[in-house]
Amino acid sequence: MLEGMYTAAAGMAAQQRRLDSLGNDLANVSTTGYKHVRVAFRDLVYTQAARGGADGVELGSGAAVRTLGRTTQQGAIKQTGEPLDVAITGEGFLAVRMPDGRQALTRDGQLRLDATGRLVTATGGLLMDPSITLPAGTQPDRIAIGADGTITADGRAAGRLRLVTVTAPGALDGGADNVFFATRGSGAPTAAPATTSVQQGALESSTVDIGSAMTDMISTQRAFELASKAIQMQDQMLEVANGVKR
């Protein structure tokens, strides 16, 4: 009878993991370039039914969450009119170096100039490689960014955005500050295809659909409650069984 409690507890843990994922998505519904997490469920180990049961009957141990990675769908393009905002259309990411020295990828195109004239992301990631440094005193409205990432300031070439991609974008490891890190599953970054382009004065919206996320959250909460009631029922059955034994 304890197997029923273990199965229900596994279900509660799985639904809690899904709730955490959905909560994170909803918190980033307005985050530029955010890609929502895809999760699914998998069966835990099955065992042969106890002696005396029907032949071929197996008992499951519940379910567990399996993270499928992040979606790779294109977010909606929102016009901002800001000269240092860029939206990536198609496959690819901006290559950045984080303040701690790690190399990362992002689709958050909210760029700005730091104190030394270098182009950085909104969270301080340095665009690379090499870094792009504009002449001192350059005003943002004098900067032009072409579809291929070429940057000019007052008509003079100042560098080019490095656009990269990986073999399996869904396997990227999402970190803080809206960036991704390459993993063994995703493969190492390589140059983005020629079809990838950037659009100046625009940003890519989050791929989170708030309506779908809220619907999924409600159904997940109800599944969690159902699993908790199953544990309560198992507890009541154990109490009855113990009373009979005495």
Is the backbone peptide bond immediately before 130 cis, with ω within 30 degrees of 0? Answer: yes
Amino acid found at 164: V
Output the tens digit of pLDDT for each of the chain's 246 residues.
566 777 888 888 888 888 988 998 999 999 998 888 888 787 776 666 655 555 566 666 677 777 667 888 899 999 999 999 999 999 999 999 988 888 999 999 999 998 888 899 988 889 987 778 888 888 888 999 999 999 999 888 888 999 999 999 888 888 778 899 999 988 999 999 999 999 999 999 999 999 999 999 999 899 889 888 888 887 777 777 677 655
Q: Who contacts 38 (Cβ-Cβ below 8 Å, separation ≥6)?
A: 67, 68, 69, 70, 71, 170
Q: Which residue has the tokens 């599953």?
A: 185
Q: Alpha-carbon distance 31 to 24, whole Å?
A: 11
For residue 172, what pLDDT is reported?
Answer: 87
The per-residue pLDDT for 233 is 82
pLDDT at 56: 61
pLDDT in tens, 90-112: 999 999 998 888 899 999 999 99
Percent of the chain whose pLDDT exceeds 90: 39
- Collapsing DSSP states into helix, strand and coil, what is residue 99? coil
Kindly report, residue by residue over 52-65, the tens digit of the pLDDT. Answer: 555 566 666 677 77
